[in-house]
Structure 1
Amino acid sequence: MILDPVDLRLLEHLQKNGQATAQELGEVLHLSASQAGRRRQKLEETGVIHHYAARLDPAKLGLSVQAFVQVQLDRHGAEHGASFARLLKTRPEITSAWTMTGEADYLLRVYCPDLASLNRLIHEVLLANPVVSRVHSQIVMDQPKADAPLPLG
């Protein structure tokens, strides 16, 4: 799908405010509400926009420890990777995961209520998995730049 400058402005606005109405989008884009709504619908139908979500404040929900955890597997192969991916889906404290190049096979973003919970996740879940050989964690001290919208321009 080819995106024109109006589509890009619409996407920029929706990344900042996913609840924007067609009327609000029309005002920002200098279009009628129906034109703006049709453009948004087209972007949704083609999968450019794949979902909307609320951003929550982890600290206000009692999740005071954020960490990035690197996981190195002992064995590789489709079966082992699939087994580890299934484990990731069962753990709500692992909010995102990436497969990586380099020494670590996976990078996990984790939110826990306290250090004891993080310790249990690392030792009783990750290191207890037979395909995991090494885990390296880094606790987030501060986030000077919040998760930002994708660069579109």
Structure 2
Amino acid sequence: MITIDEIDRHILRELQHNSRITNQELADRVGLSPSPCLRRVRRLEESGVVSSYTAIVDQTALGLPITAFVRITLEQHRPEVVDAVEEHIRSIPQIVEAHLLAGDQDYLLKVVTESFATYEQLVRSQLRRIPSLASVQTTFAFAVTKPTTPLPIA
């Protein structure tokens, strides 16, 4: 694990807001010359603190206006069952996030799809085939009130 100082935190805040920023502009914003700034960025990348760069795409613009949060409960929790469940979840492209939970449900899935009908088809053809599935509970989101945001780096 690497030590992250205030300059690293500043770099991380800037990269979360605009990962396409040039090294020169990033260096100017964090008060470094370009070479030390680039070294710090590379160290953050190599250590895994910065794991990847991505574009945030508007799902509605792509014809995927429906967001469902799906809570699933399993009948069994043997390691081989959990491995099979997680492999199955990862194989479904409409599941864009999956979280293992503590509590009454076992997983929280974020699903995006083009319509309620396609969501129903996904449940029938994919979700019901999850190994050891005991229950599926779905909540549909009407709107996004706080979109994906950067981590709160102090």
Superposition TM-score tier, normalisation by shorter sequence: over 0.9
Question: 1:35 offset after TM fit, Å?
Answer: 1.6
Counterpart of 2:125 in 1: which secondary structure?
helix
Structure 1's consecutive aligned runs of 4 or more residues displaced over 6 angstroms after TM superposition are none
Asked whether the equivalents of residues 81 and 132 of structure 2 are also in contact (C-alpha less than 8 Å), the reply is yes
Distance 2:130 2:69 in 1: 18
How many residues end up aligned between the 2 structures? 153
Q: Give unmatched runs, 5+ long, in structure 2.
A: none
Partner of 2:138: 137
Q: Secondary structure at the match of 2:51?
A: coil
Give matches, 1:64-75, under 5 Å.
64-75=65-76
CA RMSD of aligned residues (A): 1.0
After superposition, residues 3-22 of structure 1 pair within 5 angstroms as: 3-22=4-23
In 2, are the aligned partners of 1:127 and 1:133 still within 8 Å (CA)?
no
Correspondence 1:2-151 to 2 at 5 A: 2-151=3-152
**TM-score under structure 1 normalisation?**
0.96
Deviation at 1:45, TM superposition (A): 0.9
Deviation of the 1:37 alpha carbon: 0.9
Q: What fraction of aligned residue pairs are identical, expressed as a percent?
A: 33
Contact in 1 for aligned 2:84/2:131 (Cα 8 Å): no
| Partners of 1:129 and 1:67 in 2: CA distance | 17
Tell me the CA shift for residue 130 of structure 1: 4.3
